[in-house]
Structure 1
Amino acid sequence: MEEKKKNPWNKTNQWNEELDLLHSIIRTTNLIETTKWGGPVYTYNGKNVLGIGGFKSYFGIWFFNGVFLKDKKNLLINANEENTKSLRQMRFQSKVEIDEKLILEYIKEAIAIEDKGLSIKKEKKETIISDFFKSFLNENPTLKNEFENLTPYKQREYLEFIDTAKQEKTKLARLEKIKPLLAKGKGLNDQYR
Structure 2
Amino acid sequence: MNIVWHQHKVTQEMRSSQKKQKPCLLWFTGLSGSGKSTVANAVDELLFESGYHTYVLDGDNIRHRLNKDLGFSDKDRVENIRRIGEVSSLFVDAGLIVLSAFISPFSSERRMVRDMLPDGRFIEIFIDAPLDVCEQRDPKGLYEKARKGDIKHFTGIDSAYEKPEAPELVINTSELSLNECARKVVGYLGKRSVI
TM-score, normalization by structure 1: 0.28
Bigger radius of gyration: 1
TM-score, normalization by structure 2: 0.27
Compare relative contact order (CA 8 Å, sep 6+) and give the higher one, 1 or 2: 2
